[in-house]
């Protein structure tokens, strides 16, 4: 049985974008944490996963959660929930478009996940989201579709992409506070770095291996400062 189990999206999975392709890095923060703490992590994160997809994965792994050695379960979602169907926007920028999950649904399902994990006798630990680079992400999503139409829908402001992403990230912190759940602040460590974009892949949204090293170090410091015992 694994020492600890983790659920999330491609950031937690360790996906990086290199040479025009996505791959799972051998130096993901999950793998680095296994080395740092000398533990095994069952990484159930999935590329493209939204919070509702994650809820289904968690429900399918209840026995594994109960049998894992640690009392903690790692959870990280939000980066896909806030995203839009950019191809549809490029086709019709004058139409109203909605994210994959509204903020309200994101919070609702996240709260259910917290309850489910606690009902299994475990304590969820949330991870906040790394910030994104709006300009780089805009260039990435619009490279094969009508960039002018996307910019029109954004009312000429690429920064709106980052602002919207941060809206969901704030809900992670607010939900953690409301539900008395620990949250590891990944966001601040990136923002403290001059030109944090150097910690991101060329798609502007996934941390590169340098970024994953920062996340692993942040988790290490969090555990050390609070003298947390990961396994009994």
What domains sit in the chain, N to C, each tagged with a CATH number? 4-84+102-131+163-225 (3.40.50.1110)
The token pair that represents 154 in the structure block: 């954004």
Can you give the pLDDT at residue 146? Answer: 98
Residue with tokens 């994104």: 132
Q: What value does the mean pLDDT take over residues 178-184?
A: 98
Per-residue model confidence as pLDDT tens digits over 89-127: 999 999 999 999 999 999 999 999 999 999 999 999 999
Phi, psi of 18 (to 5 degrees): -140, 140
Residues forming a β-bridge with 15: 24
State the pLDDT confidence band at 232, using cuts at 50, 70 and 90. confident
Cα 222 to chain centroid distance, Å, stands at: 18
- Which pairing describes strands 4-8 and 41-43: parallel, antiparallel, or unpaired? parallel
Can you give the pLDDT at residue 82? Answer: 98
Can you give the pLDDT at residue 147? Answer: 98
Residue with tokens 């491609």: 10
Q: If you compute the radius of gyration of the chain from its CA atoms, what whole number of angstroms results?
A: 18
Q: Is residue 135 within 8 Å of residue 158, measured between CB atoms?
A: yes
Can you give the pLDDT at residue 113? Answer: 98
Q: Is residue 132 within 8 Å of residue 160, measured between CB atoms?
A: no
Per-residue model confidence as pLDDT tens digits over 131-180: 999 999 999 999 999 999 999 999 999 999 999 999 999 999 999 999 99
Can you give the pLDDT at residue 10? Answer: 98
The pTM of the full predicted model, rounded to 2 decimals, is 0.97
Per-residue model confidence as pLDDT tens digits over 58-73: 999 999 999 999 999 9
Sign of the dihedral defined by the CA atoms of residues 218, 224, 230, 231, in that order? positive
């Amino acid at each position: 049985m694994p020492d600890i189990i983790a659920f999330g999206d491609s950031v937690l999975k360790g996906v990086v974008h290199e040479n025009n392709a996505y791959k799972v890095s051998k130096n993901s923060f999950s793998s680095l944490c296994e080395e740092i703490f000398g533990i095994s992590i069952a990484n159930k994160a999935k590329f493209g996963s939204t919070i509702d997809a994650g809820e289904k994965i968690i429900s399918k792994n209840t026995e594994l959660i109960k049998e894992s050695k640690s009392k903690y379960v790692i959870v990280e979602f939000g980066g896909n929930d806030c995203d839009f169907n950019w191809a549809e926007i490029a086709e019709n920028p004058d139409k109203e478009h909605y994210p994959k999950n509204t903020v309200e649904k994101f919070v609702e399902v996240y709260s259910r996940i917290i309850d489910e994990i606690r009902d299994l006798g475990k304590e969820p630990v949330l991870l906040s989201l790394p910030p994104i680079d709006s300009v780089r992400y805009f260039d990435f999503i619009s490279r094969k579709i009508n960039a002018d139409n996307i910019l029109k829908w954004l009312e000429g402001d690429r920064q709106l992409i980052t602002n919207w992403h941060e809206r969901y990230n704030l809900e992670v912190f607010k939900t953690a506070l409301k539900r008395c759940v620990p949250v590891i602040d990944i966001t601040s460590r990136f923002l403290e770095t001059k030109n944090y974009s150097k910690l991101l892949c060329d798609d502007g949204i996934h941390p590169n291996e340098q970024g994953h090293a920062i996340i692993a170090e942040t988790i290490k410091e969090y555990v050390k400062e609070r003298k947390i015992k990961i396994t009994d």
